[in-house]
Amino acid sequence: MAQQIRDVPNRLERRKARTRSALVHAAQTFLAAGKLNVPILELTQAADVGMGSFYNHFDSREQLFEAAVEDALERYGALLDELTVGLEDPAHVFAQSFRLTGRLHRRSPELSRVLLNNGLALVGSDKGLAPRARRDIEEGVRAGRFSVGDPELAMVTVAGAALCLGQLLHDHPERDDAGATDQVTEDLLRMLGLTPRDAHAICQRPLPDLDGVRP
């Protein structure tokens, strides 16, 4: 009996976590479609939860959307960390992260659209691509791999390139996403100070297998 009593809070916490996750996922679906003015009732119906459950987790639709973007950024950032583990050259880390980002626009279109429809959040967030790009650029400067006067401005350029590339790949499905992404990555490496030969060589390196990867 005592064990059953102790298990009650755990079940309640798991239920609350599932409800919150369902709401966040529903919000991401609407964000991906660019539907920012959807009624809360429609959000709860999409999540298959009651209206009262919504207010147990969020005070407003805006707060839910903010949590949904943050969740998408965090999942994406965690994936980048996983797929670049073990790399020592900061230029290689930067390039691999950007090359993977370009490919994930097609492999995870819903997540991609969430990020593209909230571009300013992507650039200014402390999660996802921006802080990792900033970190990799700064480490590249310290290691003598990059020659950058202002890493913050360089990061803004990188984030803008990532967003514009993603939109281009959505708008032109006939484009080769891998080829386009590698070309943009190569251009960015040259902007950061690598020689054309070095930049090209880095972008020819094999990438982790993305089959079955879902951020």
Residue 1 has pLDDT above 60, yes or no: no
Residue 147 has pLDDT above 70, yes or no: yes
Same domain as 145, residue 47: no
Give pLDDT tens digits for 70-111. Answer: 887 788 888 888 888 888 999 999 999 999 989 988 887 877
Reported confidence tier of residue 121, pLDDT bands at 50, 70, 90: low
What is the model's pLDDT at position 211?
65
Whether residue 150 lies inside any domain: the answer is: yes
> What's the DSSP call for residue 34?
T
User: The domain containing residue 72 runs over which residues?
Assistant: 68-203
Same domain as 75, residue 54: no
Average pLDDT score over residue span 53-65? 90
Residue 5 has pLDDT above 60, yes or no: no
Picking from 37-41, 80-84, 187-191, 209-213, which range would have the lowest pLDDT averaged per residue? 209-213
CATH code of residue 114:
1.10.357.10
Whether residue 33 lies inside any domain: the answer is: yes
Q: What is the CA radius of gyration of the chain?
A: 20
**CA 108 – CA 214 distance, rounded (Å):** 7
Same domain as 84, residue 174: yes
Average pLDDT score over residue span 37-62? 91
* CA distances from residue 56 to 5, 41, 64 in whole angstroms, order as listed: 23, 14, 12
Whether residue 16 lies inside any domain: the answer is: yes
Same domain as 95, residue 40: no
Average pLDDT score over residue span 152-172? 91
Number of domains composing the chain:
2
Whether residue 186 lies inside any domain: the answer is: yes
Whether residue 143 lies inside any domain: the answer is: yes
Reported confidence tier of residue 214, pLDDT bands at 50, 70, 90: low
Q: What percent of the chain has pLDDT over 70?
A: 90
Residue 172 has pLDDT above 90, yes or no: yes
What is the model's pLDDT at position 148?
92
Same domain as 179, residue 112: yes
Find the distance separating the first CA and the last CA of the chain, reported in whole Å. 40
Same domain as 169, residue 78: yes
**CA 74 – CA 130 distance, rounded (Å):** 11
Residue 6 has pLDDT above 60, yes or no: no
Cut 0.85: pTM above it: no
CB atoms inside a 10 Å sphere around CB 109: 15
CATH code of residue 36:
1.10.10
Same domain as 105, residue 11: no
Average pLDDT score over residue span 195-213? 87
Same domain as 31, residue 77: no
Structure tokens at 108: 């995870």
The answer to whether 95 and 185 are in contact (CB under 8 A) is: yes
Domain boundary among 58, 79, 105: 58
What is the model's pLDDT at position 116?
81
Same domain as 41, residue 6: yes
What's phi and psi for 44, nearest 5 deg?
-70, -35
